[in-house]
Amino acid sequence: MIVLDHVTKTYHTVDGPRRVLDDVSVAIPTDRNIGILGGNGSGKSTLLRIIARAEAPTRGRVYSNVRISWPMAFSGGFDGKLSALDNIRFVSRIYGADWRRVAADVEAFAELGGYLRMPVRTFSSGMRARLSVALSLAIRFDVYLIDEIPGVGDARFQKRFGRAFAALREQACMILVSHRVQSINRFCDMAYLLRDGRLRAFDDVPSAIEAYQAL
Amino acid sequence: MRPSPTGTELPRPLAGAVLVQARVVRALVLREIQARYGRGDIGYLWALVEPLMLLGVFLLLFTFTGRRSHAGMELVPFLGTGIIVFLSLRDMVRAVSSAVEANRGLLLYPQVTPFDAIVARSVLQVATFLVVFLVITGGAVLLGYASLPADPFGVLVALLAAAGLGVALGLLQQALTMLLPILDHAQRVLWRVLMFTSCVFFTMKDLPIAAQEATAYNPIAHVIEQLRAAYFIAYETPIDGYGYVLAWILAASTFGLLMERSTRDRTKAQ
């Protein structure tokens, strides 16, 4: 369970303060896959960073009794100059995991072969995505925070994410943030709609999508 | 598949929090070393090559004018102390002041804070500084270009004061450029001026009184003078103690850290 208790987030922009999250109180279950729908710039990524505790709310608190991943962006999050192995070492160290064990797990799932020792900037977007999923999978979290899944089309998706994503879904739950209804529809069991700083819960995905498309 | 080995992890006692920060700083330091070596250029060796090149140039200039020593100090350690401290300070200020910006991508990991990035770079630059000093002066002693320091403890104190000053000035510069980005250009010019006003290749005593008074405002000149006074019996500096340097270290780091603290929210956000 992840609990947001009166969470408000305000950014100072050139146009003055902008309230991205407005007094959000919600208990997010962590025994199923959660989708968060919202338009571009609605504050989805901010919400994800606050859940991950990568960012502090302006007001309010976040509680949880589960191990939560960092907010995963499949395109980035790695230092392109460093090899995949160096990136694996860094992430393992900050989570206090044994990097040899993590590297072995990543090798098993990312299907990267000899590329593990190459700089990440030489990777295709699919390889980056597989590295990202496999690494977070190897660190072992209860809940994975995912900021948009690119290219959900079937054959292509399998090629990009391979076995890693299937293993992730088998092992844990995810909170998926997206502005595309297809990914939410395909992967999530319930959904929230983020709009004007407010979070509205829907027990079933189709009604969330309906409300989102009505906006 | 497999159950997660750890359940709740986030609300930690203070000791646990310190442990996490130590883990993060260590990971950042190792990562930075890998990044510098992995670039394909000479990486860390540059920290050694640059002062050696500058030392060579000044040695040539001094020996062409027929000098074997300067005010009773052997030329190599006299120039070496000034050049190593000056270049290391400059590198420290650069590295510390750009630490947060350079590691922005890593702030997405919840346990990595801007402060960790600053600490990691400070640790790395101070260690580099001490190693470079040890290697160059040690090498000069072994090759017979320098005698051992007269007051090793005094040398250590001066080196640590230089390190503290470098980190503090780095924090100050980061805060100032955050307030006024144009200062980033100004500091480049400033370092060129400082090269000629920090007692790098002359001593405070070489200067006329009026110039001595002006130079005494420069804290970098203070640490170089103190280092030489500790290294050589023959040299006595007109600088009196570490009070002025300490005041700079305290004021600059307090201001820098307060600025970091007050803008942390924004720093983490982008």
Which of A58, A66, A82 shows the shortest C-beta gap to B35?
A82
Q: DSSP letters of B116-135? A: HHHHHHHHHHHHHHHHHHHH
List Cβ neighbours of B240 (8 Å cut-off, separation of 6 or more). Answer: none
- Confidence (pLDDT) at A128: 86
Count Cα neighbours of B215 within 13 Å in the Cβ-side half-sphere: 27
Beta-carbon separation of A81 and B266 below 8 A: no
Beta-carbon separation of A94 and B24 below 8 A: yes
* Residue B2 within any structural domain of the chain: no
Beta-carbon separation of A171 and B1 below 8 A: yes
Distance from C-alpha of B84 to C-alpha of B136, rounded to nearest angstrom: 9
Taking only the tens place, the pLDDT of each residue in A147-168 is 888 765 556 666 667 777 788 8
Neighbours of B77 (CB within 10 A): 23
- Confidence (pLDDT) at B266: 56
* Residue B181 within any structural domain of the chain: yes
Distance of CA B173 to the CA centre of its chain: 13
* Residue B240 within any structural domain of the chain: yes
ipTM score here?
0.86
* Residue B197 within any structural domain of the chain: yes
Q: Which chain B residues are within 8 Å of A91, Cβ to Cβ?
A: 109
Closest to A94 (Cα-Cα) out of A136, A50, A132, A143: A136
Closest to B76 (Cα-Cα) out of B138, B126, B157: B138
* Residue B24 within any structural domain of the chain: yes
Q: Which chain A residues are within 8 Å of B8, Cβ to Cβ?
A: 64-67
Contact A138, A109 (CB under 8 A): yes
* Residue B1 within any structural domain of the chain: no
Strand partners of residue A21 = A9
* Residue B9 within any structural domain of the chain: no
* Residue B173 within any structural domain of the chain: yes
Distance from C-alpha of A150 to C-alpha of A74, rounded to nearest angstrom: 8
Distance from C-alpha of B54 to C-alpha of B184, rounded to nearest angstrom: 24
- What percentage of chain B reaches a pLDDT higher than 70? 90
Give B265→chain A minimum CA distance, Å. Answer: 7
- What percentage of chain A reaches a pLDDT higher than 70? 93
pTM score of the predicted model:
0.87
Band (pLDDT 50/70/90 cuts) for residue A76 is low
Domain of B112 in residue numbering reads as 14-269
Most confident of A28-42, B1-15, B82-96: B82-96
Q: Which residue matches tokens 């702030």? A: B107
Taking only the tens place, the pLDDT of each residue in B29-81 is 999 988 887 655 677 788 899 999 999 999 999 989 888 889 889 999 999 99
Distance from C-alpha of A65 to C-alpha of A142, rounded to nearest angstrom: 10
Taking only the tens place, the pLDDT of each residue in B127-185 is 999 999 999 999 999 999 999 999 999 999 999 999 999 999 999 999 999 888 888 88
Q: Does A169 touch chain B (CB under 8 A)?
A: no
Distance from C-alpha of B250 to C-alpha of B248, rounded to nearest angstrom: 6
| Structural domains counted in chain B | 1
